């Protein structure tokens, strides 16, 4: 009798605990869902450097867009991408111990941009080098080589990046290709995400090969937390990717600005 009462008491406490827990979880996910419309708060500051270029060349609606993940071929080498604030400063474990956190997110955004872009009618494909540590930047499978070939054949190579945290980074924005032929897609991405100077850091390897580099934002704070949190991860990836696709559509005059 005594034991039965005791068990009932435990069960009812546990039941209450479960109710409280589910309430907490529901509240939490509602709060996180509200982060997923891509406010500038979420991606953080955009770059503030003097920049004077303007992309005015018209491009065909069928422009072939090749989206790549920054650092996909340079893991374990110099330039493997930022580890992000969580790992570098806050003691978090990397998302995947074999690659930088930046690449982890670059890959996911790359794939979501290609997937969403196709549903919106873009002529878009994703490229993966297949090998994560190619020492020679000019090896035929690197992003650099494949992107450069894509640009030479009249396409639009776009490499996804997250910028470094804290004082190491500049913020979101498009680092344009070093060319006189910057076009309306470049202009649209810069209008949405921010505008890096034409010769940023004296001209990086990718822009010299006419590959556009899109810094989504600094891998820190709310942006990184929203990506890392399993409850808000997919929504965050999709919201960012949709913004990129929208900017591409505007540049191609396939969608009105809202
Ligand atoms: Zn990067």
What is the per-residue pLDDT for 8?
52
Per-residue pLDDT reduced to its tens digit, 4-27 = 555 555 555 555 554 444 544 444
CA of 161 to the centre of ligand 1 (A): 4
CA of 184 to the centre of ligand 1 (A): 24
Per-residue pLDDT reduced to its tens digit, 110-159 = 999 999 999 999 999 999 999 999 999 999 999 999 999 999 999 999 99
The pTM assigned to this predicted structure is 0.84
Per-residue pLDDT reduced to its tens digit, 191-233 = 999 999 999 988 899 999 999 999 999 999 999 999 999 999 9
CB 240 within 8 A of CB 250: no
**117 vs 138: CA distance, rounded Å:** 28
CA of 83 to the centre of ligand 1 (A): 10
Per-residue pLDDT reduced to its tens digit, 45-69 = 999 999 999 999 999 999 999 999 9
CA of 234 to the centre of ligand 1 (A): 21
CA of 105 to the centre of ligand 1 (A): 10
Instruction: Tell me the CATH number for domain 40-251.
Output: 3.40.630.40
CA of 56 to the centre of ligand 1 (A): 26
CA of 138 to the centre of ligand 1 (A): 18
What is the per-residue pLDDT for 146?
98
Contacts of 218 (CB under 8 A, 6+ apart): 44, 45, 85, 162, 163, 164, 165, 166, 169, 171, 172
What is the per-residue pLDDT for 127?
98
CA of 163 to the centre of ligand 1 (A): 6
The two three-digit tokens of residue 17, written as one number: 């605990």
CA of 3 to the centre of ligand 1 (A): 62
Residue with tokens 């406010």: 39
* Alpha helices, DSSP H, located in 34-167: 40-43, 84-90, 101-119, 143-152
**175 vs 167: CA distance, rounded Å:** 18
What is the per-residue pLDDT for 77?
85
Domain extents for the chain?
1-33, 40-251
Q: What is the pLDDT averaged over residues 16-40? A: 48
CB 249 within 8 A of CB 255: yes
């Amino acid at each position: 009798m005594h034991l039965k009462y005791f068990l009932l008491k435990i069960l009812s406490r546990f039941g209450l605990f479960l109710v409280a827990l589910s309430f907490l979880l529901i509240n939490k996910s509602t709060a996180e869902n509200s982060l997923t419309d891509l406010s500038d708060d979420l991606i953080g500051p955009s770059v503030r450097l003097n920049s004077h270029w303007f992309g005015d060349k018209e491009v065909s609606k069928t422009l072939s867009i090749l989206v790549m993940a920054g650092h996909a071929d340079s893991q374990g080498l110099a330039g493997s991408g930022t580890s992000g604030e969580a790992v570098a400063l806050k003691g978090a474990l990397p998302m995947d111990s074999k690659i930088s956190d930046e690449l982890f997110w670059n890959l996911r955004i790359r794939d979501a941009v290609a997937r969403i872009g196709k549903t919106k009618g873009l002529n878009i494909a994703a490229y993966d080098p297949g090998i994560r540590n190619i020492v020679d930047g000019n090896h035929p499978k690197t992003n650099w080589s494949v992107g450069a070939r894509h640009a030479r054949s009249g396409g639009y190579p776009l490499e996804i990046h997250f910028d470094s945290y804290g004082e190491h980074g500049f913020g979101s924005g498009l680092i344009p290709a070093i060319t006189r032929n910057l076009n309306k897609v470049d202009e649209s991405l810069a209008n949405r995400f921010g505008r890096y100077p034409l010769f940023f850091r004296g001209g990086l390897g990718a822009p010299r090969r006419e590959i556009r580099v899109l810094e989504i934002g600094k891998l820190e704070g709310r942006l990184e937390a929203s990506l890392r949190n399993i409850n808000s991860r997919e929504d965050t990836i999709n919201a960012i990717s949709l913004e990129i696709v929208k900017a591409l559509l505007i540049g191609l005059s396939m969608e009105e600005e809202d």
